[in-house]
Structure 1
Amino acid sequence: MKLEKESIALLTKAIEKLEAGFDLPNMNYSFDSKKMEKVILKTAEKMQDNYPYFHPLFAGQMLKPPHPIAKAAYMLAMWINPNNHAMDGSKASSPMEKEVVADLARMFDWENHLGHLTSGGTMANLEALWVAGNIHPSKIIVGSDQAHYTHERISEVLKLKFEKVSSDQQGRLDIHALEEKLKNGNVGTVVCTMGTTGLGAVDPLDEVLELQKKYDFRIHADAAYGGYFRLVSNLEPRTIQKYSLLNQVDSIVIDPHKQGLQPYGCGCVLFKSPEVAKYYIHDSPYTYFTSDELHLGEISLECSRAGASAVGLWATHQLLPPVQGGDFSKDLEKSRNATISLYNKLSESKHFYPIVTPETDIVAWTIRGSSTSEMSEKAQAFFNKAEENKLYLSLYKYPTSKFQNVDFDIDSEYLFCLRSSLMKPEHEDWLDEIWTRLLDSL
C-alpha cells in the first residue's frame, strides 16, 4: 500500500488547490478530532477482517484494486460531493462524465452515441434491456445459459420474457441453438456476453451478426467484465475478431469498476443510436434550468448519481488513456500473459485438469480424479488448503453435460472446479509464486 500512502500527500495538495478556487468566507467547523481518530482506527481494525483483495496472491474473484489516481480523484471530489443528475449539482463533473463516456465509446469505434455512467453493470444492463423492451415490447430477450444471471432477473423486473440458449463446452453461446430460437420469429434482442463472469468466454458475435442479416433482432453486448479486452493484442485471433465487431451492435455495457481501475460503483451503458434518448426524456420542475445542454439525468433511469465516479474515471483516463498500445492496455496484456502461463502449467501437470481454454484472464481447472464427484470433493478441499497457504482462489460450478470425450466418469450434475481471475498486471510477476503455492496445496 506504499503507493496509496504516497497518494495521500498528493491528495492534500489537491484539496488545498481545490479550496483556493472558492472565494468565500471561512466556515468554522466544530468537531472532536480525538473522537474521530478513535472511530476511524476502530473502522480500520474492523476492515482487517477481509481477504487481501489488493494483493496478487488473491487470485480468485473478480476484484481488481482501483488505481491510486482513481481513489485520490474520487476522494477529492467528495469535498464537493457532486450529483451527476443535473448541471445544478455537477457543474464540473457532468462535463467530465460526458468526456469519459465518449472515451469508452471510441474504444468501440463509436463517435456518435448516447450513454452515461451508472452505479454498475446491473443498472447499465437494466437500461439497455429497458430500451430493447420499448423497441420490441412484445418480443423476447435471449442469452446463453452462461450469461450473467442478472439478465433474467432484470427481464422479470421489466415484465419482459427472457429465455436461455444453451452454450458449448467452452461456455460460449451455441449458435445453432440460437438459430432454432430465432426461427420462431419472436426474438427481439439477443444478449452477447463478451466475457462471461464464470469462465471469461466470449460469445461468437461474428456468427450472431450473420444471423442478424437473416432474422430481425437487436444485439446487446454485455461487456461489463470483458469490454476492455477490445484494447488487447495478445488474445487468440478469433477472440480479437469478435471484439473488433462490437461497433456493429446496438448497445454495450462496460464496467470501469471491473477492469477499468475504478472504485465501486462505476458502470456504463452505451447506445449506438442517439435516437433512443426519446425513451428517456422527461420533465422535472426544478433540476434542468442551469444549462440548455442535455442534462445526464434526462438520459438516465437513475436520478442521483455519484459525480465522484466520473471524476475518478476522468483522472484515470488522463493518466492512462484507454487506447490500444498504451500503458493501460499493456497492463491488461500482462494479465493475459499470466493467464496463458498458468493455463500452460496446469495443462502440463499430472495433478490438474483445465476445464476450458481461457479467452480472457480467467482460468478454470480442477484436480484430476476418476469421477466428477471425486474431483469436486478434491477441488473443495484444495480450495481450503490453498487459503491456508495464503493463496485465495474461487470455486465455480461447471455443468457436466458440457463434457465430451473425457477420461473420467460423469456421476454428478455439476463439477465444482477452481477458478482464478488474474486481473492484476502484477500476476505476471507473481505467477511462479502462485504456482509454488498451488503445488504446496495438493
Structure 2
Amino acid sequence: MDKQSNNTLDQSLNALEEWKNSFGEWEQDSTLVVPSQKVEKVFDRLAQRLQCNFPFHHPIYAGQMLKPPHPLTWAAYAMAMSINPNNHALDGGPPSSEMEKEAVAMLADFFGYGDSHLGHLTASGTIANLEALWVARESHPDKKIAYSENSHYTHERMCSVLRVEGVKVPVMQTGLFDLDSINPKEIGTIVVTLGTTGLGEVEPLDQILPWAKKHGVRIHIDAAYGGFFRALKNSQLIDGASWNLMQEADSIVVDPHKHGLQPYGCGCVLFKDPAVGKFYKHDSPYTYFTSEDLHFGEISLECSRAGAAAVAFWATLQMFPLKENEGFGPILTKCRNAALKMYGLVESSSKLRAYKKPELDILGYFPCNVVSTSEISAKSKEVFKKGMKDKTFYLSLYRIPSSIFKIRHPNFEIDSENVTILRSVFMKPEHHRFVNELFNRIQSAC
C-alpha cells in the first residue's frame, strides 16, 4: 500500500474508533487477546508464506485475470471490514446497504438500464451468473438455455446445477453464432459473452438481438470480464456494435473484482425488469424487521454478503467515474493499447506469431520457429516455465483444438488433437509502458 493510502486508512480507522467508543467504554474479552510475541511470530511466518505468490501487482505478471485492487479501494474495504457489516438485511449494515444500492444504480445507468432495474452485488461472477440463469429458468421453466462454445464453463455447469438443458451454439469463423443450428422454439434464454475469458472475444450481440426478439428469446449478457470496456464504446479502440446494445438485454453480469479495481469477491447481477423480483419472494422469522425498504436478502440467492465489498466499490466509483475520458476510461484505454502494442511487436517478430488480433486486452500468441502443433505446444510450455523459473515474466497457457487452429494458421502440420499457445492478459495500465520490456524478455526465452 502506498503512503497516501496508509495515511488515509489510519485517519479513517481513528475516526471509526472514536465512533465505536461513543457508545460507552468497553474492553476486549481476555479470551480474544493473543500475546504480542506470538502475534509477531505468526505474522512473520505469514509474510514469508505470502511471498510464495506470483507477483500479481507487477507488470511482469501478464498471466491470468488477476488484477490488484486499487490501494484506496483496499483502504475503504479495510475501513468497512473493521465494522464487518452484512448486506443481507438492512439491520446488518444500513450504511453499506445504501452504498450498495447507489453503486448498483451507477452500474445499471452505465449499462443503459437507468432507474428501472433490479440488481445487487454477489460474491463472484459464478454466483451472479447462477442467479441470472436461475431467473432464466423461472421465466421459461420448460425451455433450454443456449450459450456459445466459447462461453465460460460456468454456464454449462450452472445449467446442470439448475437441472436445465443447456445448448452449445457453434461459432463460425466470422465470429457469428450459427443460429440455424438451434431451434428457437426450444430456447428460453441465450447467453452472449462480451469478453470471453479465453481470448477476450466480444460475441455478436448485434447479430443475436434481432433473432432473439423475433422468437421471443430472452438475452443474458455475461460481461463478467469485459463489462467495464463499455466505457470505450464510442472510442476508436473497440468495435462498439455490441457494447452500444447492452441495454436491450434482459440481464447482465459484471465482475468489479476484475476490471473494477476491487478485491475478491465482488460480482454483480442486474435485471432490466424489476418484476423478476417475484421469483426471489420469501420470508424470514428473524430478519427484515428494521425497515419497510427492500432488503438485499429479499432479492438475492445469497444470504450473508460482505458489506465491505459494497463500501469499497462505492468509494471507487466516487474516485473513478464510469466515463470514457475520466476514471475508468483512461485506465481501460491503456490496457487496450498495451494489448495492441504487444500484438504489433509479436507480428513483427521472427520468433513469435499472434493467434489472432485481440478484441480487448487479452492476446494469444505462440513460438513460430517450428513446423507442427505438437512442437508449438512443447515450445509454449517451455517458454511459460522458463519465465516463472527465472522470475522474468509470468504468462498463462491456452489450449485450442488443432482443427480450429488450422483454420487461422494452415501452414503448420497438425499432429496433435489440441495445440497449446501462450496467453497474456494486460489488465494493468502499467502494462502499457512495460510491454516493450516484456516482449523482449519473452522473445529471448524462445
TM-score, with length taken from structure 1: 0.95
CA contact 1:200–1:362 (8 Å) conserved in 2: yes
Q: 1:178/1:328 Cα in 2 relative to 1: closer, same or farther (>3 Å)?
A: same
Mapping of residues 35-434 of structure 1, within 5 Å: 35-111=38-114, 112-169=116-173, 172=175, 174-175=176-177, 177-183=178-184, 185-232=185-232, 239-368=239-368, 369-387=370-388, 388-402=390-404, 403-404=406-407, 406-434=410-438
Residues 195-220 of structure 1: CA deviation (Å, up to 9, x unaligned): 00001001000000121233221100
CA contact 1:179–1:211 (8 Å) conserved in 2: no
The more displaced of 84-93 and 394-403 is 394-403
CA contact 2:194–2:223 (8 Å) conserved in 1: yes
The more displaced of 107-116 and 160-169 is 160-169
Q: What is the aligned partner in structure 1 of residue 15 from structure 2?
A: 17
CA distance in 1, matches of 2:79, 2:246: 34
Residues 92-115 of structure 1: CA deviation (Å, up to 9, x unaligned): 100000000011111111111000
CA distance in 1, matches of 2:146, 2:235: 27
CA contact 1:280–1:300 (8 Å) conserved in 2: yes
CA contact 1:113–1:271 (8 Å) conserved in 2: yes
SS of 2:292's equivalent in the other structure is coil
How far 1:390 moved relative to its partner? 1.7
How far 1:6 moved relative to its partner? 4.1
The more displaced of 38-47 and 119-128 is 38-47
TM-score, with length taken from structure 2: 0.95
How far 1:298 moved relative to its partner? 0.2
Residues 81-101 of structure 1: CA deviation (Å, up to 9, x unaligned): 000000111111000000000
SS of 2:286's equivalent in the other structure is coil
CA distance in 1, matches of 2:205, 2:78: 39
Please tell me the root mean square deviation across aligned C-alpha atoms, in Å.
1.5
SS of 1:21's equivalent in the other structure is helix
Residues 252-276 of structure 1: CA deviation (Å, up to 9, x unaligned): 0000000000000000000000000
How far 1:386 moved relative to its partner? 2.2
How far 1:133 moved relative to its partner? 0.1
SS of 1:55's equivalent in the other structure is coil
SS of 1:404's equivalent in the other structure is helix
| 1:435 is the counterpart of 2:439 | yes
Residues 391-417 of structure 1: CA deviation (Å, up to 9, x unaligned): 000000012222326211122221100
Equivalent residue letter for 1:435:
F
CA contact 2:256–2:268 (8 Å) conserved in 1: yes
CA distance in 1, matches of 2:401, 2:393: 26
CA distance in 1, matches of 2:23, 2:51: 40
SS of 1:222's equivalent in the other structure is strand
CA distance in 2, matches of 1:165, 1:256: 28
Q: 1:34/1:6 Cα in 2 relative to 1: closer, same or farther (>3 Å)?
A: farther
How far 1:40 moved relative to its partner? 1.5
Q: What is the aligned partner in structure 2 of residue 26 from structure 1?
A: 25
CA contact 2:146–2:189 (8 Å) conserved in 1: yes
How far 1:430 moved relative to its partner? 0.6
The more displaced of 330-339 and 161-170 is 161-170
Overall identity of the aligned pairs, in %: 49
CA distance in 2, matches of 1:439, 1:237: 26
Q: 1:198/1:234 Cα in 2 relative to 1: closer, same or farther (>3 Å)?
A: farther
Give ranges in structure 1 of 5+ residues lacking alignment.
none
